[in-house]
Amino acid sequence: MTADGKIAFANRKFVPFGSGHDRENMMELRATADAVMAGARTLETPGTTMGPGGKKYQRLRLSRGLREYNLRVIVTGSGSMDLRADIFKHRFSPIIMLVSGSVPEKQLRLLRSVADEVKAFGDQEIDFPAALRWLREKWKVKRLLCEGGGALHGTMVRAGLIDELHLTICPKIFGGNTAPTFAEAGNDVRLADATPFKLNSSKRVGDELFVVFTRAKSSRRSWKRKRKRCGRNGKPADLPKRPEI
């Protein structure tokens, strides 16, 4: 992201602005995850396939006991997705689509024509705690890498579902009060409502700063409350844990 927290210009069209080292860092992160997840708009960017990044990273995955190719997860609560997107032209690993229960059956049939599985959670919005438990149970996802965009990041952060943040801060300023930021989809107005993280590490490479934040203990409450509510609603108490994200 830029020094002012932007991930794209106000027109929301993503243009890569990080260095080659930033891209390598992203591929190395993918090589630690069972699955990679992103929103539909992010994945409609030409050339985006969410692949492991080549033979080097495929070997790295295998050396870590992971599958050669990561599972790919697309998030689209409304079911809106360009079915001609490049990701559907590369079938090296399963493609899973997470949607909400509001998506019409006609649209679901279209999504099923390009994805290996389409699964609905929640009513008008995706129930992410339930979706993540399902990914853990059905697809054995223990570590999930979420690559955005900003709306998805914001939703996951505010739900208390992010364990670790890896941010690259680039020496650029985009400006603009409508340009997308790293974490959108929230209307917090009190400092007490902010999601707390703590700095785990930082590293400067050239003019870029690579930082890692881990979730502070107090932000775990949202997830725990959701799990307790599930128990009270009669769901099995031994549901699998969600993936690490």
Question: Which CATH number does the domain 20-232 belong to among 3.40.430.10, 3.30.70.270, 3.90.1410.10, 3.90.1150.10?
Answer: 3.40.430.10
pLDDT, tens only, 80-116: 999 999 999 999 999 999 999 999 999 999 999 999 9
Q: What is the 3-state secondary structure (H, E, C) of 51-101?
A: CCCCHHHHHHHHHCCCCCCCEEEEECCCCCCCCCCHHHHCCCCCEEEEECC
Closest to 199 measured CA to CA, from 167, 245, 223: 167
Percent of the chain with pLDDT over 90: 73
Comparing 80 with 177, which gets the higher pLDDT?
Answer: 80
Top mean-pLDDT range of 128-132, 216-220, 241-245:
128-132
Question: Alpha-carbon distance 221 to 159, whole Å?
Answer: 9
pLDDT at 121: 97
Q: Where are the domains of the chain?
A: 20-232
Structure-block tokens of residue 170: 């680039």
pLDDT, position 204 = 97
